[in-house]
Amino acid sequence: MISVTFVNRDGDSMKVKAKVGDTFLDAAINNDVDLEGFGACEGTLSCSTCHIIFKKEDFDKLPDKPSDEEMDMLDLAYGLCDTSRLGCQITLTESMDGIVVTVPAQVADARNR
Amino acid sequence: MINYLLICDLNFTIDKDFSKFEGEGRPLYLDAQATTPVDPRVLDAMLPYMTNYYGNPHSRTHSYGWESEKAVEVAREQVAKLINADPKEIIFTSGATESNNIAIKGVARFYKMKKNHIITTQTEHKCVLDSCRVLEGEGFEVTYLPVLPSGLIDLNSLQNAIRPTTVLVSIMSVNNEIGVKQPLAEIGAMCRKAKVFFHCDAAQAVGKIPIDVESMSIDLMSISGHKVYGPKGVGALYVRRRPRVRIEALQSGGGQERGIRSGTVPTPLTVGIGAACEIAQQELKYDHARISKLSQRLIDQISHSLTHVIRNGDPEHSYPGCVNLSFAYVEGESLLMALKDVALSSGSACTSASLEPSYVLRAIGAEEDLAHSSIRFGIGRFTTEAEVDYTAQKCIHQVTKLREMSPLWEMVQEGIDLKSIKWTQH
């Protein structure tokens, strides 16, 4: 088990424990992390709601480059930046223990406003 | 077909005042760079989507939507094939102007945190130059590369202009005023090496000369429907996926067209540009050979009977369907009026309302008076040999007449060097 921290839109940190081999999306769902609408398509690369932003040094250490399909969905995400990825596509490894990721400020879902 | 359109009452008639000339009918059309007629085969392809298949292609829940979406995807494939791209890399827009705006502003703004320099040329279309000017107002630095007298860019000056902070190079393929073809493959290779995005405004080139986004290392490309015998009001933007080019969208909305261009995709227009591209791909070689012959025929006839005619732009590295000639000692507007039964232009349509002579001609170093004397002959798929002969003969006749009236011409004939004269004011 490793620890992963999600920093949400209000700046709150949510530290959770996750299994190596799960994705960031699994980590969020399994621990009931309070993120509205996160992972709407359940990891099938059909949305951009699991959009997370890494710190540069963590981003550079990610093992796989995003596939074309992930890039296509990522292009539609709000707050896209250089270190953005889709959480459902990244598998947790031992070296990611203690990693902190930010969930971007805006979402395409306007229901909460 | 033209007679039919004149006869049937469509709530308007072609005003006789617009076409005062000697005979019946309408002027010969030799302004292919301004626009091209819709190919009848393109119209055939479009019509069902104007009448029966009127669904919104984004309607997911019924067959009206599905059939409309299918037509759009077929068109996307047709456009992609013409330029050797993947259909997923084609975005439909309202025309090349919009495509240019999206490409330049969108790429620049997305990467502005890291890079803020753009390179373009002085002979680009107004929409490219104006987009760059807007970006300058936002804090970007833009280098407007000069061109050689041939109209081509100097590859060395491009190399020297590239900085570590350069994000985009935007250079058109075929110039709309003088027809000059820039060396795309060399420019693309240079940009790829420097890790700079290469945008090419190919509105006048697509479907007329072979364009291959892979071999030419093009990252973004603008395509215009009505320059390739398609309908007006539609264009496309090629956006490379590998390596990925990211764009900040100009038009916000429902996320259509990969989020780059929201808005309902106009199925009939899209089907039109798709069909136009497919036809262009099939007929490219034939059209090019035919147009080259007609172009040479026009130039030969004119230069055989007239002296002091200058071709603007490199004759070798040019698209033959665009011939820009300056007739010394003849004023361009008066020649156009004299040739009233041939539809021609001097300079580009988008700047024809202004009084200034063409900035493209100025960029290639044409002298002020020669720039005012230039005429652009546009030869297209439907131009006939008889039309070319008529135009050439009329041109020779009118130029001769106008020169006979010109005191400057008289002086030149007498061997006087006009540059040595001290003109006085009255």
| In a domain? residue A71 | yes
Cα–Cα distance measured from residue B276 to residue B11, given in angstroms and rounded to the nearest whole number: 28
Domain of A65, CATH number, reads: 3.10.20.30
Provide ipTM, 2 decimals.
0.76
| In a domain? residue B31 | no
If asked whether residues B63 and B193 sit together in one domain, one would say yes
**CA angle (B44 as vertex; B39, B45 as ends), nearest 5:** 100
pLDDT at B182 over 60: yes
Show the tokens assigned to A18.
């996750």
Alpha-carbon distances, residue B163 vs A82, B117, B121, B142, B246 (angstroms)? 21, 8, 16, 11, 20
How much is the pLDDT for A78? 80
Cα–Cα distance measured from residue A100 to residue B222, given in angstroms and rounded to the nearest whole number: 41
Alpha-carbon distances, residue B283 vs A84, B210, B290 (angstroms)? 45, 11, 10
Cα–Cα distance measured from residue B357 to residue B369, given in angstroms and rounded to the nearest whole number: 9
Give B-chain residues touching A80 at CB under 8 angstroms. Answer: 246
Beta strands (DSSP E) in B243-330 are 309-311, 322-327
Give B-chain residues touching A71 at CB under 8 angstroms. Answer: 241, 244
If asked whether residues B99 and B154 sit together in one domain, one would say yes
Of B88, B242, B255, the CB nearest to A76: B255
| In a domain? residue B5 | no
pLDDT-derived band at B114, boundaries 50, 70, 90? very high
Q: Which helix (H) or strand (E) holds B23?
A: none
B243 preceded by a cis bond (ω within 30 of 0): yes
| In a domain? residue A22 | yes
| In a domain? residue B18 | no
Cα–Cα distance measured from residue B207 to residue B212, given in angstroms and rounded to the nearest whole number: 11
Query: Is A107 within 8 Å of A37 (Cβ atoms)?
Result: yes
Cβ of A68 within 8 Å of Cβ of B259? The answer is no
Q: CA of A56, closest CA in chain B: separation in Å?
A: 14
How many Å separate Cα B221 from the centre of its chain? Answer: 13
How much is the pLDDT for B16? 57
Domain limit, last residue, from B225, B255, B279? B279
Burial pattern B88-98, b for ≥16 Cβ within 10 A else e, equals ebbbbbbbbbb
- Domain range enclosing A79: 2-102
Q: Look at chain A and report how many structural domains it folds into.
A: 1
- What pLDDT digit, counting tens, does each position of B350-372 carry? 555 666 778 999 999 998 888 88
Domain of B194, CATH number, reads: 3.40.640.10
Sign for the CA dihedral angle at A52, A54, A58, A62 comes to positive
pLDDT at B11 over 70: no
If asked whether residues B146 and B101 sit together in one domain, one would say yes
- Tell me the residues of B at the A interface, defined by beta carbons under 8 Å apart: 88, 241-242, 244, 246, 255, 258-260
| In a domain? residue A87 | yes
Give B-chain residues touching A72 at CB under 8 angstroms. Answer: 88, 241, 258
Sign for the CA dihedral angle at B99, B354, B35, B143 comes to negative
| In a domain? residue B10 | no
Least confident of A22-26, A32-36, B55-59: A32-36
Q: Look at chain B and report how many structural domains it folds into.
A: 2
Give A-chain residues touching B246 at CB under 8 angstroms. Answer: 75, 80
Q: Which of residues 34-73 of A touch B (CB under 8 A)?
A: 68, 71-72
| In a domain? residue B343 | yes
Query: Is B178 within 8 Å of B360 (Cβ atoms)?
Result: yes
Domain limit, last residue, from B260, B279, B298? B279
| In a domain? residue A111 | no
DSSP string, B125-146: -HHHHHHHHHHHHTT-EEEEE-
Least confident of B6-10, B89-93, B214-218, B255-259: B6-10
| In a domain? residue A88 | yes
| In a domain? residue B426 | no
User: Of these residues, B8, B191, B322, B350, which one is catalytic?
Assistant: B350
pLDDT-derived band at A36, boundaries 50, 70, 90? confident
Show the tokens assigned to A97.
């223990």
Using alpha carbons, select from B243, B219, B218, B248 the residue that is nearest to residue B112. B248
Given phi > 0 = left and psi -120 to 50 = alpha, else beta, which region is B11? left
Cα–Cα distance measured from residue B158 to residue B143, given in angstroms and rounded to the nearest whole number: 10
If asked whether residues B186 and B61 sit together in one domain, one would say yes
pLDDT at A112 over 90: no
Domain of B396, CATH number, reads: 3.90.1150.10
If asked whether residues B175 and B266 sit together in one domain, one would say yes
Q: CA of B112, closest CA in chain A: separation in Å?
A: 12
Mean of the per-residue pLDDT values of chain B: 92
Least confident of A43-57, B68-82, B390-404: A43-57
Q: Which residue has the higher pLDDT, B154 or B373?
A: B154
- Which of A69, A75, A106 has the most B C-beta neighbours within 10 Å, making it the best mutation to test the interface with B? A75
pTM (2 d.p.)? 0.88
Q: Please give the backbone phi and psi of residue A102, each rounded to the nearest 5 degrees, phi first.
A: -105, 140
pLDDT-derived band at B155, boundaries 50, 70, 90? very high
If asked whether residues B178 and B319 sit together in one domain, one would say no
- Domain range enclosing B291: 284-414
| In a domain? residue A14 | yes
Identify whether B350 is a catalytic site residue: yes
Cβ of A76 within 8 Å of Cβ of B241? The answer is no
How much is the pLDDT for B22? 53
Domain limit, last residue, from B215, B246, B279? B279
| In a domain? residue B11 | no
| In a domain? residue A110 | no
If asked whether residues B383 and B323 sit together in one domain, one would say yes
pLDDT-derived band at A113, boundaries 50, 70, 90? very low
Q: CA of B294, closest CA in chain A: separation in Å?
A: 46
Query: Is A79 within 8 Å of A102 (Cβ atoms)?
Result: no
| In a domain? residue B61 | yes
If asked whether residues B155 and B188 sit together in one domain, one would say yes
How much is the pLDDT for B18? 53
Q: CA nearest A109 in B: which residue?
A: B254
- What pLDDT digit, counting tens, does each position of B38-97 carry? 999 999 999 999 999 999 999 999 999 999 999 999 999 999 999 999 999 999 999 999
- What pLDDT digit, counting tens, does each position of B300-336 carry? 999 999 999 999 999 999 999 999 999 999 988 889 8
pLDDT at B296 over 90: yes
Tally C-beta pairs within 8 A across A and B.
15
Task: Give B362's Cβ-side CA count (13 Å radius).
Answer: 8
If asked whether residues B315 and B348 sit together in one domain, one would say yes
Residue B180 pairs in a beta bridge with: B318
- What pLDDT digit, counting tens, does each position of A74-85 carry? 888 887 888 999
If asked whether residues B345 and B378 sit together in one domain, one would say yes
How much is the pLDDT for B1? 46
How much is the pLDDT for B353? 61
Cα–Cα distance measured from residue A77 to residue A14, given in angstroms and rounded to the nearest whole number: 22
If asked whether residues B350 and B248 sit together in one domain, one would say no
Give A-chain residues touching B258 at CB under 8 angstroms. Answer: 72, 75-76
